[in-house]
Amino acid sequence: MSKRKKPVIRHVFWDWNGTILDDVEVCVGALNRMMARRRLPAITVKRYQDVFSFPVKAVYPHFGFHMEEENWDAMAREYHDDFLVLSKACGLRRGIRPVLDAVQAAGIPMSIVSACETGYLLGMTDRLGVTPRFHSIRGLADFFAASKLAVARDLLQSLGVPAGEVLLVGDTRHDYDIADALGARCVLLAGGHQSAGRLATCRCPVFGDPRDLLRLFVTDSPDHAISAGLEIKETGHTAVADG
């Protein structure tokens, strides 16, 4: 029988799009604008969640784009421009603010690690009034939405916190893969950019409502470390919920 313990978590890495920011419908809207210009049929949120992955460039052929006829740099800019117009209506994901409040109240440092371009990311966190909550907000240098693994590694190194005491909260299998590569713990939220069925293949807890995360955070010691409220089993770098 595996040894059970409640792991201490000393820093939380948050994904941005789909995890904190409620932007899935806006992303689908931006894609549908691009598709309409090419006379391609519109997609639904469900279709998007069933297909979306990283790197983002690989997703477009699934929606009918002929990449051999496209300029990827121009496509990335086109999507970004459409997204910027539509994203003015984006807010925080319902239920996420109480979780941020709880972690911050416990004195747990939090950072954002995102595949968004850094300037856009900071503009959004400022507009939504959450920038001061985070120790660090890190995105990419461009709009191509490639892997954010290097960004996460750089942040982890700068913090000097053991990877096993970092919890990554995301909404895609890419977030899980990053946590696994870092040696960090991971929990995922369904209802973001990938379907619950796809997230179920990851060996970590998956929650349907951000407010379910509240039961993970319990003040554990005077230095404000927190421990998972769920007992978990160690499986390499991965935590698997028992219930």
Q: What is the CA radius of gyration of the chain?
A: 18
Burial of residue 73 (CB within 10 Å: 0-12, 13-18, 19+) is exposed
Cis preceding linkage at 55, omega within 30: yes
Q: How many CB atoms lie within 10 A of CB 124?
A: 24
Same domain for 98 and 149: yes
Q: Which amino acid is at 105?
A: A
Q: What is the pLDDT along the chain (243 residues), one digit of tens a residue?
A: 444 455 588 999 999 999 999 999 999 999 999 999 999 999 999 999 999 998 889 999 999 999 999 999 999 999 999 999 999 889 999 999 999 999 998 889 999 999 888 999 999 999 999 999 999 999 987 655 556 899 999 999 999 999 999 999 999 999 999 999 999 999 999 999 999 999 999 999 999 999 999 887 754 442 333 444 433 333 333 333 323
| CATH for 228 | 3.40.50.1000
pTM: 0.86
Tell me how many domains the chain contains. 2
Same domain for 83 and 167: no
DSSP 3-state of 44: coil
Segments forming the whole domain that contains residue 114: 4-22+92-241
